[in-house]
Structures are given as structure tokens and as C-alpha cells.
Structure 1
Amino acid sequence: VTLSDLDPPNAYRISGEGSGGVAGYAKGGALVRLESESADVTVLHYDVDAQIGGKLAQLGARLINSTATKLAGEFFKSFADVVSAKAEAS
């Protein structure tokens, strides 16, 4: 996993990739952007993309794309819950 296109504290890109040999490859990432809504509220926006090739692509490109999007949503929701809890505790 790598971070790129760093624009602190506004945005960054997180990406990763892997290879399964004969099965194919997968790579993807998310563009993450932070937007200050008020002094106490920051909104996190993200746009996820995934690419697959080889036998993976033949068997389930749509499934993998929808799963990647779902998992990213769950990750950022959990992230928001943790950050919100810490902010409330302060």
C-alpha cells in the first residue's frame, strides 16, 4: 500500500496491488479528500477504483469491484467512528 498525490491536509491517494500468478492481478486505490465543514466537523470524501486482469477478470470483475467499494465504505465508516469517539472524549 502506498500514499501518493499528497496534498496535506486536503487530499491524498492510497493504492495497492497484488499478483496471484496464473489467477491474475488486482490493483486499486482510493482518492481521499478532506473538507472542513466547520471548526468541529471535517467531511471525508473518497472515490474507489479497482482493476483486475487474468482469470480473476474473466470470473468476477463486477463482484470484485462491488466488494472493493463495499469494503472501502466499511473501512471509512469505521475510521469515522473511531475519529468521532476520540474527538468526543477530548
Structure 2
Amino acid sequence: MKLSDSREIRAEPAIVWTAILNPEVLKACIPGCQSMTGSVAEGYEAVVKQKVGPVSATFTGLVQLSDIVEGRSLRIVGEGKGGVAGFAKGSADVRLEPVEGGTRLSYDVEASVGGKLAQLGSRIIDGFAKKMADEFFTRFQEAVEGPDEEEAAASAAEDAPKKGWFKRLVGG
């Protein structure tokens, strides 16, 4: 399965770059991520719980960052084993470019599965992979750029997780 897309993020490229290298941001953005330990240089060990169609599994695996071109691009590669459910592997080539008002983040994702998961059929797997990629990059965008003014007023009245927490943390 292959997927390409891009997003306009209302934050300077330096802030977006710092966020994509931050393990707390990655953990918060990966749907179902229960834990993540490690570093950019050595890679991360992650535990992710997901339900794909009728199959529910907890995947343990590694996430590596490679092909790093400081401030411009990198490759995120992950592989997880889910016991009898099988395995999942994927990669995302991520590119950043400055645009008026912020940063364009473009990505090309490839994903594959094996074992019981592969028996679900490509339509279910492709839909799930697209949903996971969309959710990751939506969460990433929200963490970095924060809410618009209407959302900010609405969430100030709630105890909802605050959008833009990373941007505020680095003073963007």
C-alpha cells in the first residue's frame, strides 16, 4: 500500500523539524501508542495497540529515523510484531519546505502486513493504513500549530487536551 499527501502547518519549519524529532510528540501522534523509549540516534522501541477489522493486537516494535537532512527531510521506518495477529511494517518519507504562513509537510507512506492481518484483504488493510497515516499527521499538525481562535475559546471551557502544546513548549 502506498499513500502520498501534504499538509500546510501554521508554524515555522524549525519548529516543525524540532517536533518531528521529539519522542513525546511522536508518542502522542501515533494512534494507540502506549509507550515509546529510545532516541533519534538509536531508534525507539514502541508498544502500540490497534484493532484492524476483527483483529485486535498489541504490537511491539522498533521505529527508526534515517536519511536525515537537517531541517528538510527524513525517513521514519517502523516494524511491529503482534503475536498471532502477524506483523506490520511501514515507512514514511517526510519533507518540509517553507511556505507563506508556515511549512508544507509532504509525505510518502508505504505499509505492508503479514500473518492473520494479511488475510483480511487489501481493501481493509489499505483503508486502515490510510486512516493511521491521516490520524498521525492530523495529530502532529494539531500538536505543532495549535487551535484556531474559535477552537481555543471552546477548549478553554473544557478539560480537553490542549492543541498546540508543542509549539507553546518551544515558544513558537
Bigger helix fraction: 1
- Which residue of the partner structure matches residue 71 of structure 1? 132
* Percent identity between the two aligned chains: 53
Conservation of the 8 A alpha-carbon contact between 1:11 and 1:34: yes
Tell me the TM-score normalized by structure 2: 0.45
Residue in 2 that maps onto 1:59: 120
CA contact (8 A) 1:31 1:48 kept: yes
Question: Is the CA contact (8 Å cut-off) linking 1:52 and 1:61 kept in structure 2?
Answer: no
How many residue pairs get aligned? The number is 88
Tell which has more relative contact order, 1 or 2 (C-alpha 8 A, sep 6+): 2
So what's the TM-score if we normalise by structure 1?
0.78
Counterpart mapping for 1:70-89 below 5 A: 70-85=131-146, 86=167
Query: Which residue, 77, 82, 86 being the options, matches 1:20?
Result: 82
Alignment match, 1:3: 65
Cα RMSD for the two superposed structures: 2.1
What amino acid is aligned across from residue 64 of structure 2 in structure 1?
A: T
- Describe the SS at the equivalent of 1:48: strand
* Unmatched tracts of structure 2, length 5 or more: 1-62, 147-166
Q: For 1:79 and 1:20, how far apart are their aligned partners in 2?
A: 25
